[in-house]
Amino acid sequence: MTTMREQAMATAVDLFQRDERVAIVMADISLDYLQPAVEHDPRRAVNAGIMEQSAVGIAAGFALEGFHPIVHTLAPFLTERPLEQIKLDFGYQGLGGTFISAGAPYDYGESGGTHHAPGDVQALGSIPGLEVLVPGSAPETDALLRVSYANGRPTYLRTSVVENREPVDLAPGGLTVVRRGADLTVVAAGPFLARTLDALAGVDATVLYATTLVPLDADALVREAATSPRVVLVEPAYEGTSAAQIAAALSHRPMQFLSIGVPRRFIERYGTSAEHDAALGLDVRGIRERVLAFLDR
């Protein structure tokens, strides 16, 4: 089965070969996947090595010359190390570019804290005008990259090892109704949709699937939210990352709110993504326990 990362690279290469205005900037990651682009036109496919700030600067140079740059590396080295460059070179200058990551929040948990990035969405989401896309499957990754690569604004596309069982036919705006219920509204983001649905067994909930976290589709949330004041957010990023957007969208009505995400503390143990999920209460059991406690059940 094709992973999200593999699909993102394959789609990037296809766009590169079809559109002469696409440029790819690498940082010594996924070179085998991107080699066809280098062979097709090495003038537009540049490996900057492990110099991520320089990679962003090179991409901004391409954007200033009318190209649609795509930058790729692991999440902590794409979203935290060159944050200032993305903010100034792309955000401040109003340039378009696509930043594709792999490994968030802790897919590389066996490599320790240097490879964790649960704060990636919040960090890049602080840049005005930047869009954050968090797909949950390879087909969704392909679709989101194709519609966004030339959108004229900085766009962060986050891929991960964890995926949902089935792709979803995404609604425009990035917030898709998966099911309807009366007891509460649940916003489940990206690859956490499947486990959230499993955790809600026997709960009459409206479930909205978020693949665009910044900006969250406030109109769709207002339109589709259940009448119950109870709202739950489940996201594969720091707990509360998208809470302010939900609170703002639903500020016109009473609300009881539960935010489920990666606890805001350093993860000091080594382990697989699944092991970290279980330890942090982000597996099916952990999510279900918190939702049922929220419902007083």
Grade residue 147 by pLDDT with cuts at 50, 70 and 90: very high
Region 32-57: mean pLDDT is 97
pLDDT tens-digit map of 10-30: 999 999 999 999 999 999 999
Long-range contacts at 147-152 (CB < 8 A, ≥ 24 apart): 148/98, 149/12, 149/15, 149/22, 149/68, 149/70, 149/98, 150/19, 150/21, 150/68, 150/96, 151/96, 152/96
Rounded to an integer, what is the distance from CA 97 to the centroid of its chain? 16
pLDDT tens-digit map of 233-292: 999 999 999 999 999 999 999 999 999 999 999 999 999 999 999 999 999 999 999 999
How many whole angstroms separate alpha carbon 105 and alpha carbon 99? Answer: 16
Q: In this structure, are residues 81 and 124 in contact, taking their beta carbons and an 8 Å threshold? A: no
Percentage of residues in the chain with pLDDT exceeding 90? 99
Grade residue 134 by pLDDT with cuts at 50, 70 and 90: very high
Q: Directed axis angle between helix 4-18 and helix 31-40, to 10°?
A: 10
What count of other Cβ atoms lies within 10 Å of the Cβ of residue 98?
Answer: 27
Give 269's Cβ-side CA count (13 Å radius). 10
Region 134-161: mean pLDDT is 98
Q: In this structure, are residues 47 and 29 in contact, taking their beta carbons and an 8 Å threshold? A: no
Using the structure block, give the residue that is written with the tokens 């099911």: 179
pTM of the entire predicted model: 0.96
Is 1 a residue whose pLDDT tops 90?
no
165 by Cβ neighbours in 10 Å (0-12 / 13-18 / 19+) ranks as: exposed
Residue ranges covered by each domain of the chain:
4-158, 175-294
Predicted pLDDT at 150: 97
Pick the CATH number of 175-294 from 3.90.1150.10, 3.30.460.10, 3.40.50.920, 3.30.1180.20: 3.40.50.920
Predicted pLDDT at 245: 98
pLDDT tens-digit map of 225-235: 999 999 999 99
How many whole angstroms separate alpha carbon 165 and alpha carbon 162? Answer: 10
Is 297 a residue whose pLDDT tops 90?
no
pLDDT tens-digit map of 64-122: 999 999 999 999 999 999 999 999 999 999 999 999 999 999 999 889 999 999 999 99
4-158 and 175-294 share one fold: yes
Q: Is 3.40.50.970 the CATH number for 4-158?
A: yes
Q: Which residues pair with 133 in a beta bridge?
A: 157, 212
Measured between alpha carbons, how far is residue 23 from residues 10, 30, 82, 146 in Å? 14, 15, 19, 14
Percent composition of the chain: helix, strand, coil (DSSP 3-state, to 5) = 40, 20, 40
pLDDT tens-digit map of 178-220: 999 999 999 999 999 999 999 999 999 999 999 999 999 999 9
Predicted pLDDT at 275: 95
